[in-house]
């Protein structure tokens, strides 16, 4: 049983704490493993510096905690491409694909249209999700379904079943995201029943938020459904 948080943002992207502050806090709270995961784009300039810093922390804290480097990139289109330089992000321990927008045939749906055109939003999301599941550069799906949930769109059970049945053989990990409460219980159990590995991520952007998001989880709780 390990206490793991695979999704903590640092000051390399839009988090407030430095990687070192995050690692020191995580050690004080008995985490076994954390992944410092920052937002990237195709032209992110600080990637090498990020990987070097995480590498150094990994060595310095070996024995107390396992430290991983993650990158979170948005899904760009129906072909499941992500907004990252694949050659450079391959140094990451975990590459996250995130739906920060919903692709359409060209470009992205406007945020206000997601709630207005629920059927189209679901179809576009599902089409892109299927493609992401066969993108070999992607390790893990970040906060699955949160873009729909935020616009009040429920994912029908048959779509959850279909995604779970594709996710199993794909080998992709799904994040159980503490901040957004996704996937919901029904979706999680479908994923688990298809053999999908689930890892917990807080998506915290500060130490205070990290503390808050984990406040319901006792120090000896397992964080995965593996
Ligand atoms: Zn995200
Ligand atoms: Zn995030």
Query: Any idea what the CATH number is for the domain that residue 143 is in?
Result: 3.20.20.140
Query: 142 CA distance to ligand 1 centroid (A)?
Result: 6
**40 Cα to the center of ligand 1, angstroms:** 11
pLDDT tens for the chain, 226 residues: list them.
689 999 999 999 999 999 999 999 999 999 999 999 999 999 999 999 999 999 999 999 999 999 999 999 999 999 999 999 999 999 999 999 999 999 999 999 999 999 999 999 999 999 999 999 999 999 999 999 999 999 999 999 999 999 999 999 999 999 999 999 999 999 999 999 999 999 999 999 999 999 999 998 876 655 554 4
In the numeric block, the tokens 């070999």 are attached to 136
Query: What single-letter DSSP state applies at residue 94?
Result: E
Q: Which residue, chain included where needed, has tokens 């590459």?
A: 95
Residue 39, classed as helix, strand or coil, is strand
Please report whether residue 83 resides in a domain: yes
In a domain, 223, yes or no: no
Residue 72 Cα to ligand 2 middle (Å)? 6
Comparing CA positions, the residue from 68, 99, 46, 78 lying closest to residue 2 is 68
Report if residue 140 sits inside a domain. Answer: yes
Ligand nearest to the CA of 146: 1
Rounded to the nearest angstrom, the distance between the alpha carbon of 96 and the centre of ligand 1 is: 9
Tokens 């998506």 map to which residue? 203
Does 92 sit behind a cis peptide bond, omega within 30 degrees of 0 on the bond before it?
no
Centre of ligand 1 from the C-alpha of residue 217, in Å:
22
For the CA of 7, the nearest ligand: 2
Token reading at 47: 């990637």
Residue 62 counted as domain residue: yes
Q: Which ligand is nearest to the CA of 38?
A: 2
Calculate how far, in angstroms, residue 169's C-alpha sits from the geometric centre of ligand 1: 24
Residue 9 Cα to ligand 1 midpoint, Å, equals: 10
Question: What local confidence, expressed as pLDDT, does residue 217 receive?
Answer: 81
How close is the Cα of 59 to the center of ligand 2, in Å? 25
Cα–ligand 1 centroid distance for 143 (angstroms): 7
In a domain, 225, yes or no: no
Q: Is residue 119 in some structural domain?
A: yes
In angstroms, what is the span from residue 197 Cα to ligand 2's centroid? 19
pTM of the model: 0.95
Find the domain containing 155 and state its range.
4-213
Q: Evaluate whether residue 196 is within a structural domain.
A: yes
CA 146–ligand 2 middle distance (angstroms): 11
- How far apart are the CA of 169 and the centre of ligand 2, in A? 25
Give me the number of domains the chain comprises: 1
Tell me if 99 is assigned to some domain: yes
Structure tokens at 197: 């590995």
Ligand that lies nearest to the alpha carbon of residue 142, given by its number in the listed order: 1
């Amino acid at each position: 049983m390990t206490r793991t948080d695979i999704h903590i943002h640092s000051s390399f992207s839009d988090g407030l704490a430095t990687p070192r502050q995050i690692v020191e806090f995580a050690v004080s709270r008995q985490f076994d493993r954390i992944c410092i995961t920052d937002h990237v784009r195709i032209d992110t300039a600080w990637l090498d510096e990020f990987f070097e810093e995480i590498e150094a922390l990994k060595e310095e804290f070996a024995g107390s905690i396992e430290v991983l480097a993650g990158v979170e990139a948005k899904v760009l289109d129906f072909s499941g491409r992500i907004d990252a330089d694949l050659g450079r992000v391959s140094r990451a321990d975990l590459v996250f694909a995130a739906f920060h927008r919903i692709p359409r045939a060209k470009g992205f749906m406007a945020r206000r249209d997601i709630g207005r055109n629920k059927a189209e939003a679901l179809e576009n999301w599902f089409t892109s999700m299927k493609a992401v599941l066969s993108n070999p550069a992607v390790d893990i799906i970040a906060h699955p379904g949160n873009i729909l949930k935020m616009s009040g769109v429920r994912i029908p059970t048959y779509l959850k079943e279909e995604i779970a049945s594709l996710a199993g053989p794909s080998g992709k990990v799904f994040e159980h995201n503490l901040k957004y409460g996704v996937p919901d219980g029904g979706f999680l159990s479908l994923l688990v029943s298809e053999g999908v590995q689930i890892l917990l991520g807080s998506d915290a952007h500060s130490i205070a938020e990290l503390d808050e998001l984990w406040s319901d989880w006792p120090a000896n709780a397992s964080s995965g459904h593996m």
